[in-house]
Each structure stands twice: as C-alpha cells, then as structure tokens.
Amino acid sequence: MLRKSLFNVLAVLAILSFVLTACASSGGESPEAPAGGDGPQVTSSGFECPEPNPRVEVTSTELNIFVWTEYFPQDMLDCFELVYGIQLNRDEYSSNEEMYAKVSAGGTAYDLVQPTDYIVPLMIRQELLQELDHSKLPLMGNFDPNWMDQPFDPGNKYSVPYLAGTDALIVNTATVENVPTSWADLWNPEYAGRMVFLDDSRAVIGLTLVTLGYDPNTTDPAQLEEAKNKLAELVPNIKLFDSDSPKTALIAGDVDLGMTWTGEAFIANQENPDIQYIYPEEGPVLWQDNWVMLKDAAHADAAYAWLSYTMQGDVFWLTIRDFQYTNPNQAALEYAKANQPEVYSAYADSPIANPPADAVAKGFGIEDVGDATPLYDNIWVEIKGGN
C-alpha cells in the first residue's frame, strides 16, 4: 500500500544521503601533506603548486574564511589545501555591511574575513579583531609600501592588504549614444531605466556628495540631506541594484550603463569590448580589501599559514591571471613580469586594472564616519524604499 512505498522511498533517500556524505567528506578530506621529496602537488587544472616558503607549523585541520564572491583563483584555494592538508571552508558575502552584521552578531566560526578599508576601524572599535603577530608573517615585505600603513590601520596592526581597485562608470558604448564622462552625467534623464548601480550605500551616497562638491565622508546633516534629495531623483532611473555580479546584466543587455568595480568591468570588457570602463571627472572611488583575523578564531595557526602562503609572489600572481584588480603585492608583480609576461602585460597595459595616475589623484576613498553611520544608513533605506 501507500505506506510501504513511502517507506521504501524514505529508506532509499536515507541511504543516498549517507552515501553522499561519505563521498563528500572523503572527497573533501585533506590529502596528506607531502612527506617531502614527493614532487610538487598539482591541482585538477594542471597547475603546479609552489612550495610554502617559509613553511608554517600547523596543527589545525580546517580553516574557515568569510570572503567576497568571485575573488579567489581556484588554483590558489586548491594549492593551499594540497600543500598543507588543511580543509578550507569558504562562505561568501557581497557587502561589507552584511559581513559586519553577521560577524558582530556573534556565534559565527570564521577565522579570517576581508573587510574593505572603512570597515576595519569599526571592527577594531568593536573589538572583533585580534592583532596580527608580524613575526609569523615574514613575507609582509612583499607588499608595495603605498598600500601599507594606511590611516584606517596604522602600522598594519590588524590587517594585511589583499587586492585593491576602483568604482567607476561602465558604459556599453554600442547602445549608449551620449557617453557619460562624470558621475553627475548619470542624472541625465535619457539614461532612465537603463542603469545598474552597486548596492553599496557608502559608495553611492559618496558619489552623490561629490557631485554636489562636498566631502564624500561628510558628517554634516545638512549636506547629507541635500545628497539624499539629489539621490532620490536618481533612484527611479536605476533599473537594478547589484553588488553580486553587475556585469551579468550588462552583458545580457538588460542595462546599458551604470557604475561597477574593477574586476567586473574587466570581465565585462572581455566578453564584450564595447563595454568600457570610464573614470569620471570627479574621480573614481578608491578602495582596498584587507585580511583581518577575528578575535576568537579557532584556527589561528592555519590562518597564519594561509596568509603567509598567499603572500608569496609565486602564488599571489594567480590573482593577476584570473581576476584583474589592482595588485599591491610587488613580489607577485615581479614574478609575473619575469615568468608570465603575457599575463603581466595584460595587467600592466590595462587601464582598468592599472588606473592612470590622474584618475587615482582625483579619486576618493570611503572612510569610517563613526557616529554618523546611522545617518548614511537611514538615507539608504529611505531612498530605496520610497518607490
């Protein structure tokens, strides 16, 4: 009768689940660290993994990282698992605020996260981070000093850089006749319903403030009120807010222009050369993503191993190959220049990954505004909810 067949189905599904779990855990199980002299590890795509140099002593078997979407070369992840035998668990987010909310709520088990510059002081203030032991990170000298010792974390007590980039205009020059050249141009009514914007409150409000001639990190309520009103005019013209994968809508033709960040622009441009990244006259948004270690990280030794390994020039150059962002790791750049000239020249010649000096000079960064944060948050909720 019905019950017997239901029972059979349930039994089959139960067995299936245990089989799958067994497969998954054995598949994901860390292969043993090489006993030395075994020859280099090779990933499934044929990439030969460099040896960790220096090799860090590790007792943990897992590492939990909470990171941005689409930001890691698969070979880099695989190599770390292969050479250290540590299982890497990765969860992703697409906005700093989302990451902060989950981490500060407590109860999470992450070891490393990747806040953008302006969130780092907030996390320090909230005592969510532990200080980094520089003696365990001998390769910190690999970084270009221009990206170190930043105002948001003097002396790099809590953070090390990962990748950097800009937010700027992105335009499908084939479908847009009047190509915009400044943030202010986006308010042009002919772009109504054709734009994609990042779902990033600080960047969007910041660029609005800049079009009004104000400081993008102002705490003056009157200026913010003006920005809110100006932004309220723009929002109905925006078709789509997307901080996950804005290039998708551009490539698909659902939108024709908007704002996006370095990595997305590069990929969109590759798929469709008509899609171009334009640095606005008022200056692009400059940002830098950093690694920080959470205070109650359960696998601190594995975290140091990861940071150390990925700082190596012969490992980090993979980011130049796979994701085009501005690269603060000099050792990686030199390695690529010497050993992978096509990859290096693609990076060096690209105005997207390598913004011209005048664009950088005009650019502005987002900074922590402390007590004024709720003002920005409220503006964001109000203008987005007001349709």
Partner 1 sequence: MLQRLRENKSMQGTLLALPTTLWLFVLLIIPLFLTLVVSFGQRSPDGDVIYSFGLHNYIRLFGYSTDCANGQASCFDPLYVNILSRSLSLAFNTTVIVIMMAYPLAYFIARSNPNRRNMFLFMVLIPLWTNFVIRVYAWMMLLRKEGAINIILGWLASGFNVIFAPLAGWFPEMAGVFHINFVPLELLYTPGAVLVGMVYEFLPFMILPIYTSLEKIDNSLYEAAADLGANAFRTFLRVTLPLSMPGVVAGTILVFIPVMGTFIVSDILGGRQVILVGNLIQRQFLDARDPTFGSAASLILMVMTLIVTYFYTRKFGFGEEIIAA
Partner 2 sequence: MNPHRRSPWVIAAATFVYFFLYAPIVVLILYSFNASRANVKFEGFISSFSDRVEMDGSYVVASPCGPFHWYCDLSKNDDVMEAAGNTLTIAVTATLAATTIGTMAALALQRYDFKIKPFSQLSLYIPIVIPEIVMGIGILTLFSQAFGWLNEALNLVGDARLALGIGTVTVSHIAFMVPFVTLVVQARLQGFDKSYEEAAMDLGANEWTTFWRVTFPMILPGVLSGALLAFTLSLDDFVITFFTNGPGSTTLPIYVYGLLRRIITPQVNALSTVWILTVFIAVMLLQWLQSREQKPAHS
Q: How far is the CB of 19 from partner 2 (least distance, A)?
A: 9
One-letter identity of residue 309:
Y
Binding partner of residue 301 among partner 2, partner 1, none, CB cut-off 5 to 8 Å per kind: none
Binding partner of residue 101 among partner 2, partner 1, none, CB cut-off 5 to 8 Å per kind: partner 1
Using CB under 8 A, which of 74, 126, 146, 345 touches partner 1?
A: 126
183 touches 234 (CB < 8 A): no
118 touches 69 (CB < 8 A): no
Which of residues 149 and 271 has its CB atom nearest to partner 2 in the complex? 271
Binding partner of residue 202 among partner 1, partner 2, none, CB cut-off 5 to 8 Å per kind: none
Q: Which helix (H) or strand (E) holds 286?
A: strand 285-293
Range 299-338, binding partner 2 (CB under 8 A): 299
Using CB under 8 A, which of 62, 314, 334, 377 touches partner 2?
A: 62
91 interacts with partner 2 by CB under 8 A: yes
Binding partner of residue 298 among partner 1, partner 2, none, CB cut-off 5 to 8 Å per kind: partner 2
Which of residues 242 and 282 has its CB atom nearest to partner 1 in the complex? 242
Distances (CA, A) of 355 to 164, 169, 280: 11, 13, 12
What mask, x for binding partner 1 by CB under 8 A, covers residues 75 to 104? Answer: --------------------x-xx-xxx-x
Q: Which helix (H) or strand (E) holds 276?
A: strand 275-278
Nearest-Å Rg of the Cα atoms of the chain is 23
The token pair at 111 is 């070891």
Distances (CA, A) of 34 to 25, 39, 82: 20, 8, 8
Cβ neighbours of 4 (radius 10 Å): 8
C-alpha neighbours within 13 Å on the C-beta side of residue 381? 6
Using CB under 8 A, which of 30, 181, 340, 373 touches partner 1?
A: 373
For residue 42, the Cα-to-chain-centroid distance in whole angstroms is: 26
14 interacts with partner 1 by CB under 8 A: no
Range 237-256, binding partner 1 (CB under 8 A): 238-242, 252-254
Range 262-321, binding partner 1 (CB under 8 A): none
337 interacts with partner 1 by CB under 8 A: no
Q: Is the peptide bond before 154 cis (omega within 30 degrees of 0)?
A: no
> If we measure between CA atoms, which residue out of 62, 57, 55, 104 comes closest to residue 85?
62
Bridge partners, 48 (sequence order): 42
- Residue tagged 């199980």 (tokens): 29
> If we measure between CA atoms, which residue out of 386, 387, 377 comes closest to residue 224?
377
Binding partner of residue 10 among partner 2, partner 1, none, CB cut-off 5 to 8 Å per kind: partner 2
**For 169, which DSSP code?**
E
Q: How far is the CB of 210 from partner 1 (least distance, A)?
A: 22
Binding site for partner 2 (CB under 8 A): 1-10, 12-14, 16-18, 20-21, 23-25, 27-28, 44, 62, 64-66, 69-70, 89-92, 94, 105-110, 244-245, 247-248, 251-253, 267, 270-271, 296, 298-299
Binding site for partner 1 (CB under 8 A): 95, 97-98, 100-102, 104, 122, 125-126, 193, 199, 201, 238-242, 252-254, 370-371, 373-374, 377-378, 380-382, 384-387
